Amino acid sequence: MSSIISRLLKNWEMLLLPILAIFIFQLLPDVFASGGGEVINHGGDAATTFLWLAIVLIAAKLSSFVEKFGQPAVLGELIVGVILGNLVLLGLNFFEPIKTNSHIIFLAELGVVILLFQIGLESQIEEMKKVGMRALLVAIVGVVVPFASGTYLVGPWLFPGLESTTYIFLGATLAATSVGITARVFRDFKKLQTKEARIVLGAAVIDDVLGLMILAVVSAMATAGNVELADIGIIVVKAFAFLTGAILLGQLLAEKLGKIFAKINAGVGMKFTLVICFGLLLAYFAQQIGLAPIVGAFAAGLMLDSVHFRYFKDPKIVAELREHMKGYEQTEANQQLLKKIEKHGRRHIEDLIEPIGHFLVPVFFVTTGMSVNLESLFDAKILILAFGITMVAVIGKMVSGLAAGKGVNRMIVGMGMVPRGEVGLIFASIGRGLGVISEELFSALVVVIILTTLIPPPILAMFLKRQK
Amino acid sequence: MSSIISRLLKNWEMLLLPILAIFIFQLLPDVFASGGGEVINHGGDAATTFLWLAIVLIAAKLSSFVEKFGQPAVLGELIVGVILGNLVLLGLNFFEPIKTNSHIIFLAELGVVILLFQIGLESQIEEMKKVGMRALLVAIVGVVVPFASGTYLVGPWLFPGLESTTYIFLGATLAATSVGITARVFRDFKKLQTKEARIVLGAAVIDDVLGLMILAVVSAMATAGNVELADIGIIVVKAFAFLTGAILLGQLLAEKLGKIFAKINAGVGMKFTLVICFGLLLAYFAQQIGLAPIVGAFAAGLMLDSVHFRYFKDPKIVAELREHMKGYEQTEANQQLLKKIEKHGRRHIEDLIEPIGHFLVPVFFVTTGMSVNLESLFDAKILILAFGITMVAVIGKMVSGLAAGKGVNRMIVGMGMVPRGEVGLIFASIGRGLGVISEELFSALVVVIILTTLIPPPILAMFLKRQK
């Protein structure tokens, strides 16, 4: 008897188990019933977003099993997103609020900016310049061919009798390139240092500038009916100045800034902040002149990625190394080794950004998947139109791979240019807003964007593995 | 002549400098004129938030000079926030949009959740239990004394002739404790492992539960005029079950989960995601039962912080160590050392969360500072009332320090309980919403919250340094 009491006293916490059971039964219905708190609503809105964020991140990680089948992680994230986003077709609308949660949408945009910043950091500016001419050719062909075939072939053929501005908008949508997905595939396979990756990245950046010009022209045509060359000139000069200015400044100042940066004695937090703020500011400036924020973030990453910025001494790692060495025999050799290790105790800037990437990048790809509405695949007519446009969309970009020149796998470059993603969607949306793109054509274009987003990752994976 | 041409050819990029100058002149007015893009608005809203985010982070880091004067970094962040938020009084309204930017507000709430999660990770559950009784006493005294003196002394004395519910709301506002600021001060000084820190953290968590009860009672009194005991009972049982359940589950499952966790062979990303999602989910569940999300995040951190979760093998660090050892003489001793180092190649979970903390925690404190409206200090009458209430608010919490028992610095515990922060503001706002707190009293309470937020950090700093 007394032993039972003494065991109870020792394990008094066990008495709480029944309360816990009641608690779980109490809590669960609340969770699924509403997003708001009951009594105090401190951070109600935010707390619901925490739930969505956790769900998105866990879903993204669950999807990483696709890597076992040799597929890039990004494909898993897109697919799990498509599933989450279309469970509503089976009557389960629990996840629907994620699609319209403004904070999640913001975190996704921040995520893709962080991704392109990381990719910029991992790319070398000198290596990018080496493929500059090829990237320019790929970009031009990759814009001209899909634009021309959209405007003069697919448009009049699949949608006869419409205004020419409609065909031009269709062409413009097909000319867009969204670099996020391709860049992620290259990164997932650790192929960012290949010539193909550099050509695609460079071409995508140039493509954003060309797309900007096309959009300015076609918007002016659709609204005013005519185009003022001066306006286009200003846009082009600004975009050109931004990109070359960023690269130029990077090369002029990187060494000096790197030295200052290395000397900053304020711990890892300060370095992290300076680096990430630089990426955020360039993303903002890019958006200010009409470029995509991701182009600015990529340029920022390129600028910082001089040799001078790649490493810095991290006292924490040095301390950890010292800790490791403690207790081992203190021979002369070990002492010397310790000194050498300490001298080299360094850390990559990329390592600092990495956890932010883990946190935010999957949000972009899962929500991109969620925005895919499978219902638009149920309409046979739209589907046929969409397949027709997709054929042209894929072939048009594959042709651009031919412009990549010798010594590279042109299939990889071409396929890397295929994803239209959010850029294509923006073009189509503006066209719909201006009344030149019909609902039917818009639905078809959404399917085209879905297909050009989901098809390239597995095919690129195949090409990249074959290259090994 | 030819040398000039060859130099020009070599340094052709220099020719871009004039374009760059034009570009900067072109861009700057845009930046200060509007937040939206000109042509394509991809991510317009988000891009503006990138700018604000960068400004907030840079401001936070600039403010870290206060550390040179022995002040905690959090004080610098609060002060720089107060400055940024009140530049409008000098006619500069450039930073005003930060205050109302919903994404920044969200990131701040996420930031304080991450902070309390980190603090939970750094606290030991066993150590917390040791001070459990003391923390409970401090919490009770720290709620009863300010509540009673607000309701029966300050209220009737400073604002004579009002309804008793008004006095009760005033008392409730003074009873609140906001743990974020104190926790940050302890953390800035690496004092989280002290008894004082553990008592304050524990008391603040219990205080949140007590505050929940008080708010339920006073809200019911103000609206219905009577209180149903059953409702309060449910709230208390839920809150109690949540906290004990979390701690209990943590102790029961930590070892097993830790072993599974250690075995997961999917890289750092997976571990990071699991850990952070656990924190986010508990923050959400806490909010669901009416507790502050930060209480849930703290509980999550406590649960994960068993010995089993603190370390895990990181292949990246092992690889880095291997890299370090390359090229050194391959003696038998060095070989063995390498093996030993590899065996211990481990990483703290805290290290994974750290960069997210660097990114988001300052957003909370800078925006908390920005929400301080110095204009409310300009009204002499309100100021006098506020000073009166503040005296009681500070003394009431200092008294609670006496309940901390022997062997601890009671001044540190008492001062640590002083900040009212956002919790007090929520109480006052609800009272204003119910019509029982007048505009005048509300303004005075805002000043009280400002003072109780800004006063403790430097005083705590003084006490903590004297303790050394």
Q: Does the distance separating the beta carbons of B58 and A293 come in below 8 Å?
A: no
Residues 268-287 of A with CB under 8 A from B: 268-270, 272-274, 276-277, 280-281, 283-287
**Please, are residues A372 and A85 in contact by the beta-carbon 8 Å criterion?**
yes
Per-residue pLDDT at A20: 45
Per-residue pLDDT at A31: 37
Distant-in-sequence, close-in-space partners of A254: CB < 8 Å, separation ≥ 6 = A303, A304, A306, A308, A309
Q: What's the rounded Cα separation, in Å, for the pair A15 and A131? A: 69
* Cα–Cα separations (whole angstroms), residue A396 to A138, A327, A400: 11, 65, 7
Distance from A273 to chain B by nearest Cα, in Å?
A: 7
Q: Does the distance separating the beta carbons of A352 and B19 come in below 8 Å?
A: no
Select the residue of B22, B44, B216 nearest A287 (Cβ to Cβ).
Answer: B44
Q: What's the rounded Cα separation, in Å, for the pair B389 and B377? A: 14
| Cβ-Cβ contacts under 8 Å, B48 against chain A | 284
State both tokens at A273: 């902040």
Per-residue pLDDT at A37: 32
Tell me the β-bridge partners of A346.
A313
Per-residue pLDDT at A8: 45
If one counts the domains in chain B, the total is 1
Does any domain span residue B281?
A: yes
Look at residues A278, A128, A146, A284 and name the one whose alpha carbon lies nearest to residue A206.
Answer: A128
Select the residue of A20, A64, A355 nearest B352 (Cβ to Cβ).
Answer: A355
Residues 365-424 of B with CB under 8 A from A: 422-423
- Among all residues of chain B, which has the CA nearest to that of A352? B355
**Please, are residues B207 and B176 in contact by the beta-carbon 8 Å criterion?**
yes
| B257-269 b/e (C-beta count within 10 Å ≥ 16 → b) | bbeebeeeeeebb
**Please, are residues B311 and B323 in contact by the beta-carbon 8 Å criterion?**
no
Q: Does the distance separating the beta carbons of A423 and B42 come in below 8 Å?
A: yes
Distance from B381 to chain A by nearest Cα, in Å?
A: 30
Q: Where do we find the tokens 């901390």?
A: B404
State both tokens at B202: 């524990």
Q: Is A292 on the interface with B (CB under 8 A)?
A: yes
Q: Is B30 on the interface with A (CB under 8 A)?
A: yes
Mean pLDDT to the nearest integer, B87-116: 91
- What pLDDT digit, counting tens, does each position of B34-90 carry? 333 333 334 558 889 999 999 999 999 888 877 777 778 888 888 899 899 999 999
User: Domain range holding B171?
Assistant: 72-467
**Please, are residues A357 and A116 in contact by the beta-carbon 8 Å criterion?**
no
| A82-96 b/e (C-beta count within 10 Å ≥ 16 → b) | bbbbbebeeeeeebe
Q: Is A228 on the interface with B (CB under 8 A)?
A: no
Select the residue of A27, A50, A328 nearest B293 (Cβ to Cβ).
Answer: A50
Q: Is B104 on the interface with A (CB under 8 A)?
A: no
Residues 203-222 of A with CB under 8 A from B: 211-212, 215-216, 219
Question: β-pairing, A311-313 with B311-313?
Answer: unpaired
Distance from B358 to chain A by nearest Cα, in Å?
A: 6
| Cβ-Cβ contacts under 8 Å, B207 against chain A | none
Does any domain span residue B175?
A: yes
Q: Does the distance separating the beta carbons of A38 and B423 come in below 8 Å?
A: no
- Say how many CB pairs under 8 Å bridge A and B: 304
Residues 308-327 of B with CB under 8 A from A: 316-317, 321, 324-325
Residues 63-82 of A with CB under 8 A from B: 64
List of E strands, A282-432: 311-313, 346-348
Select the residue of B20, B235, B422 nearest A241 (Cβ to Cβ).
Answer: B20
Q: Does the distance separating the beta carbons of A212 and B43 come in below 8 Å?
A: no
CATH number where A83 lies: 1.20.1530.20
Q: Is B262 on the interface with A (CB under 8 A)?
A: no
Does any domain span residue A36?
A: no
Is pLDDT at B390 greater than 50 in this prediction? yes
Does any domain span residue A45?
A: no
* Cα–Cα separations (whole angstroms), residue A288 to A281, A293, B157: 10, 9, 56
Q: What's the rounded Cα separation, in Å, for the pair B104 and B56? A: 9
- pLDDT band for position B226 (cuts 50, 70, 90): low
Distance from A74 to chain B by nearest Cα, in Å?
A: 14
Test the A interface: residue of B102, B284, B325, B343 with most A CBs within 10 Å = B284
| A57-80 b/e (C-beta count within 10 Å ≥ 16 → b) | bbbbbebbebeeeebbbbbbbbbb
- What pLDDT digit, counting tens, does each position of B425-465 carry? 777 877 877 788 887 888 888 888 888 888 888 999 899 88
Test the B interface: residue of A40, A207, A261, A350 with most B CBs within 10 Å = A40
- pLDDT band for position B267 (cuts 50, 70, 90): low
Per-residue pLDDT at B214: 79
Q: Does the distance separating the beta carbons of B47 and A288 come in below 8 Å?
A: yes
- Among all residues of chain B, which has the CA nearest to that of A343? B324
Select the residue of A45, A245, A287 nearest B43 (Cβ to Cβ).
Answer: A287
Q: What's the rounded Cα separation, in Å, for the pair B180 and B205? A: 11
Residues 132-161 of A with CB under 8 A from B: none
Test the B interface: residue of A264, A358, A426, A430 with most B CBs within 10 Å = A358
* Cα–Cα separations (whole angstroms), residue B362 to A271, B70, B265: 14, 19, 33
User: What interface predicted TM-score (ipTM) does this complex get?
Assistant: 0.78
Q: What's the rounded Cα separation, in Å, for the pair A63 and A82? A: 12
Give start and end residues of each alpha helix (H) in A229-292: 229-263, 267-288
At residue A94, the 3 state secondary structure works out as: coil
Does any domain span residue B377?
A: yes
Test the A interface: residue of B358, B361, B367, B430 with most A CBs within 10 Å = B358
Q: Does the distance separating the beta carbons of A53 and B280 come in below 8 Å?
A: yes
Burial (CB < 10 A; 0-12, 13-18, 19+), residue B289, is buried
Question: β-pairing, A346-348 with B311-313?
Answer: unpaired
- AA identity, residue B388: G
Q: What is the DSSP letter of A290?
A: T
Q: What is the pLDDT along chain A (468 residues), one digit of tens a residue?
A: 555 555 544 444 444 444 444 444 444 434 333 333 333 344 558 889 999 999 999 999 888 877 777 778 888 888 899 899 999 999 898 999 999 899 999 999 999 899 989 888 887 777 777 888 899 999 999 999 999 998 898 888 888 888 888 888 888 888 888 778 888 889 888 888 899 999 998 898 888 778 777 777 777 776 666 666 777 777 778 777 887 888 788 777 777 777 776 666 556 677 788 889 999 999 999 888 878 888 889 888 888 866 555 555 555 655 656 665 665 556 666 666 666 555 544 566 777 788 899 899 999 989 988 887 788 778 888 888 899 899 999 999 999 999 888 888 999 999 999 987 767 777 787 787 778 888 788 888 888 888 888 888 899 989 988 876
**Please, are residues B49 and A264 in contact by the beta-carbon 8 Å criterion?**
no
Mean pLDDT to the nearest integer, B312-328: 59
| Cβ-Cβ contacts under 8 Å, B47 against chain A | 283-284, 286-288, 293
Q: What's the rounded Cα separation, in Å, for the pair A89 and A85? A: 9
Does any domain span residue A145?
A: yes
Max CA separation in chain B (angstroms): 96
Q: Is A439 on the interface with B (CB under 8 A)?
A: no
Per-residue pLDDT at A26: 43
Q: What share of chain A is helix, strand, coil (3-state, %, to 5)?
A: 80, 0, 20
At residue A324, the 3 state secondary structure works out as: helix
Q: Is A339 on the interface with B (CB under 8 A)?
A: no
Does any domain span residue B460?
A: yes
Select the residue of A57, A212, A423 nearest B277 (Cβ to Cβ).
Answer: A57
A420 — phi, psi (to 5°)? -95, -35
State both tokens at A427: 């073009």
Distance from A288 to chain B by nearest Cα, in Å?
A: 5
Q: What's the rounded Cα separation, in Å, for the pair A276 and A357? A: 11
| Cβ-Cβ contacts under 8 Å, A353 against chain B | 355
Select the residue of B57, B287, B337 nearest A37 (Cβ to Cβ).
Answer: B287
Select the residue of A24, A38, A355 nearest B356 (Cβ to Cβ).
Answer: A355
**Please, are residues A138 and A203 in contact by the beta-carbon 8 Å criterion?**
yes
Does any domain span residue A183?
A: yes
Lowest mean pLDDT among A454-468, B5-19, B143-157: B5-19
Distant-in-sequence, close-in-space partners of A374: CB < 8 Å, separation ≥ 6 = A82, A86, A89
Q: Is A15 on the interface with B (CB under 8 A)?
A: no
Per-residue pLDDT at A41: 40
Residue B357 exposure: Cα atoms within 13 Å on the Cβ side: 19
**Please, are residues A53 and A160 in contact by the beta-carbon 8 Å criterion?**
no
Q: Is B43 on the interface with A (CB under 8 A)?
A: yes
What share of chain B has pLDDT > 90, as a percent? 20
Q: What is the 3-state secondary structure (H, E, C) of chain B?
A: CHHHHHHHHHCHHHHHHHHHHHHHHHHHHHHHHCCCCCCCCCCHHHHHHHHHHHHHHHHHHHHHHHHHHCCCHHHHHHHHHHHHHHHHHHCCCCCHHHHHCHHHHHHHHHHHHHHHHHHHHHCCHHHHHHCHHHHHHHHHHHHHHHHHHHHHHHHHHHCCCCCHHHHHHHHHHHHCCCHHHHHHHHHHCCCCCCHHHHHHHHHHHHHHHHHHHHHHHHHHHHHCCCCCHHHHHHHHHHHHHHHHHHHHHHHHHHHHHHHHHHHCCCHHHHHHHHHHHHHHHHHHHHHHCCCCHHHHHHHHHHHHCCHHHHEEECHHHHHHHHHHHCCCCCCHHHHHHHHHHHHHCEEEHHHHHHHHHHHHHHHHHHHHHHCCCHHHHCCHHHHHHHHHHHHHHHHHHHHHHHCCCCCCCHHHHHHHCCCCHHHHHHHHHHHHHCCCCCHHHHHHHHHHHHHHHHCHHHHHHHHHHHHC
At residue A346, the 3 state secondary structure works out as: strand
Q: Is B118 on the interface with A (CB under 8 A)?
A: no
